[in-house]
């Protein structure tokens, strides 16, 4: 049985983050054939500065985790209508090294507001396009009113959202499978 590696990246550093909890839920939904790992330590990277700190070990580990992953899934909050600085900083470290090129991705933004973090999601998708990732019209999801759909302990309480998360995971797995058919 081929193990599919998915790296999950949350844009929130909060210990009780709803976005991290969404990634945990998706991890629990995944089949045994999926090695689902949530990235930690986004806040340990230096500020991106082209040509400087290129040998930083945390950045190197991040790049190697992306490279090894068959697909990457993001879930991020929106801060002041944008992508959290820690997430954008991490992605900037991969622009010239190219680990995201041709990498199947999925992107989620969850917010307690009824706009669902749509501006952060749009911005993240633009960056993911710049990085050369593989995605389609089913690769992203904006989740409004998240606090009514997930308990403070991180348990999903909304069937529609359950279905949406399954769809986004399945679409990512399909993109990974299509790519490996093409690569072989």
Ligand X SMILES: Cc1cc2nc3c(=O)[nH]c(=O)nc-3n(C[C@H](O)[C@H](O)[C@H](O)COP(=O)(O)O)c2cc1C
The residues of the shown chain that bind ligand X, judged by CB under 6 A, are 12, 14, 17-19, 77-81, 111-113, 115, 117
In this structure, the number of other CB atoms found within 10 A of the CB of residue 29 comes to: 15
Quick one: 10 or 175, whose CB is closer to ligand X? 10
* Region for residue 102 given its phi and psi (left: phi exceeds 0; alpha: psi -120 to 50; beta: otherwise): left
In angstroms, rounded to a whole number, what is the distance separating the alpha carbons of residues 75 and 141? Answer: 9
β-sheet bridge partners, residue 105: 72
| Least Cβ distance, residue 122 to ligand X (angstroms) | 12
The nearest distance, CB 16 to ligand X, in angstroms, is 7
Least distance to ligand X, CB of residue 171, Å: 22
Nearer to ligand X, 123 or 175 (CB): 123
Nearer to ligand X, 31 or 113 (CB): 113
Smallest distance, ligand X to C-beta of residue 145, A: 10
Rounded distance, CA 107 to CA 73, Å?
6
Task: Specify the residue, 92 or 118, whose C-beta has the smaller distance to ligand X.
Answer: 118
What is the full DSSP assignment across 32-54?
A: TTEEEEE---GGGSPPP-TTSST
């Amino acid at each position: 049985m081929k193990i599919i590696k998915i790296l999950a990246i949350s844009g929130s550093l909060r210990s009780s983050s709803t976005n991290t909890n969404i990634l945990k839920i998706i991890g629990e939904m995944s089949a045994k054939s999926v090695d689902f790992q949530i990235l930690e330590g986004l806040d340990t990277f230096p500020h991106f500065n082209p040509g400087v700190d290129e040998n930083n070990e945390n950045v190197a580990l991040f790049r190697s985790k992306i490279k090894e992953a068959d697909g990457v899934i993001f879930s991020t909050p929106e801060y002041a209508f944008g992508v959290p600085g820690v997430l954008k900083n991490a992605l900037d470290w991969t622009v010239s090294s190219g680990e995201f090129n041709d990498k199947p991705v999925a992107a989620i933004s969850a917010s307690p507001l009824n706009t669902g973090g749509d501006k952060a999601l749009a911005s993240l998708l633009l960056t993911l396009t710049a990085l050369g990732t593989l995605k389609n019209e089913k690769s992203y999801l904006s989740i409004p009113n998240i606090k009514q759909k997930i308990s403070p302990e991180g348990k999903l309480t909304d069937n529609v959202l359950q279905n949406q998360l399954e769809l986004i995971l399945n679409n990512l797995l399909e993109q990974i499978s299509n790519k490996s058919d093409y690569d072989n």
